[in-house]
Amino acid sequence: MVKALLAWVALLAALPAPARAEDPPQPAPPGKGMLDEPCPDVTGLWFASPYVRQYDWNFLCRYAAENRALDPAQPVSVVFIGDSITEGWKRLDPGFFGPAVLDRGISGQTSPQMLVRFYPDVVALRPRVVHIMAGTNDIAGNTGPTSPEDFKNNIRAMADLARANGIVVIIGSILPSNRFDWSPDLKPDPRIRELNAWLKTYAADNGLVFADYWSALAGPDGELPAAYSSDGVHPNAAGYAVMRPIAEQAIAEAEARASAR
């Protein structure tokens, strides 16, 4: 009986997540096996859409069409890769981005998903600089239980891939938060502080640029204050206004390092 129950639980866990009410109709896979063009139209899908959960766990298709459409005559200076905090930045501060500064954030993603995307969404675009910001969803366990060392290894791997391809790395701190609405039993602040201390040391020890958003945004209890966020996790326009000059300074430093080579 116990074995049967465990098997049933495992089966349920393996099923794709149900669609949200606002999800568009799910596309059909364009074929089976290895395809030259494996991506259907993913407009309106998100990281937990049934199609993505079943067929494209890392959401490689999210930016595939945009990457192909880039003008080869327009050099890419900076690529931002991250989760919803990165993805939302372009929506609330569109003037910060453009043909030379690209946003490749995907809501809900964790560092292992970003690592799989890192070559097509960063390296293949041949930027001078990459801005990596991850960790919130790792701490929340969005893709299952993980460890601090797993997170660190994913950051190390992305940084190594970038440097091996001549790309200067900016490591963005994890933003402050003392609660996750989608995982209310967790107390993220201590882990955020711990991982940010490691990120800062790792950047210093390896010649990377560190963008410290946490210090500029954190409230006295490690929260993201209401002045900067409506949910304690995602910045609003005022939050991104605080982050932008920190990012600009980090980009200027990284560009200088790229030019000095």
1-55 pLDDT tens trace: 334 433 433 333 343 344 455 678 999 999 999 999 999 999 999 988 999 999 9
* 27 three-state secondary structure: coil
Kindly report, residue by residue over 117-144, the tens digit of the pLDDT: 999 999 999 999 999 999 999 999 999 9
Which residue type is seen at 250? A
**Are both 31 and 76 inside the same structural domain?**
no
**Are both 228 and 255 inside the same structural domain?**
yes
**Are both 44 and 120 inside the same structural domain?**
no
**Are both 37 and 151 inside the same structural domain?**
no
In a domain, residue 11? The reply is: no
In a domain, residue 16? The reply is: no
**Are both 186 and 252 inside the same structural domain?**
yes
Q: How many CB atoms lie within 10 A of CB 126?
A: 14
**Are both 50 and 172 inside the same structural domain?**
no
Distance of CA 176 to the CA centre of its chain: 16
The CATH number that applies at residue 244 is 3.40.50.1110
**Are both 106 and 224 inside the same structural domain?**
yes
Kindly report, residue by residue over 84-96, the tens digit of the pLDDT: 999 999 999 999 9
**What is the residue whose two structure tokens read 């560092």?**
111
Distances 196 to 57, 75, 134, 184, 213 between C-alpha atoms, Å? 27, 32, 11, 21, 10
**Are both 102 and 157 inside the same structural domain?**
yes
Q: What is the pTM of this model?
A: 0.90
pLDDT of residue 2: 37
Does 19 or 169 have the greater pLDDT score?
A: 169
**Are both 249 and 159 inside the same structural domain?**
yes
> Do residues 32 and 51 lie in contact, with contact meaning Cβ atoms separated by under 8 Å?
no
In a domain, residue 194? The reply is: yes
The dihedral built from the CA positions of residue 213, 218, 223 and 226, taken in this order, carries a sign that is negative
Q: How many CB atoms lie within 10 A of CB 220?
A: 6
Tokens of 179: 């609660």
pLDDT of residue 20: 54
Mean pLDDT throughout 75-80? 98
How far apart are alpha carbons 56 and 73 in whole angstroms? 30
Distances 258 to 98, 127, 170, 252 between C-alpha atoms, Å? 20, 10, 12, 10
Q: Beta 129-133 vs 101-105: how paired, if at all?
A: unpaired
Range with top average pLDDT, 18-22, 98-102, 257-261: 98-102
Sheet harboring 78-82: ordered strands across? Answer: 101-105, 78-82, 129-133, 168-172, 209-211
In a domain, residue 4? The reply is: no
In a domain, residue 19? The reply is: no
Residue 157 structural domain: 68-259
How far apart are alpha carbons 45 and 26 in whole angstroms? 8
**Are both 113 and 41 inside the same structural domain?**
no
**Are both 240 and 182 inside the same structural domain?**
yes
How far apart are alpha carbons 249 and 36 in whole angstroms? 40
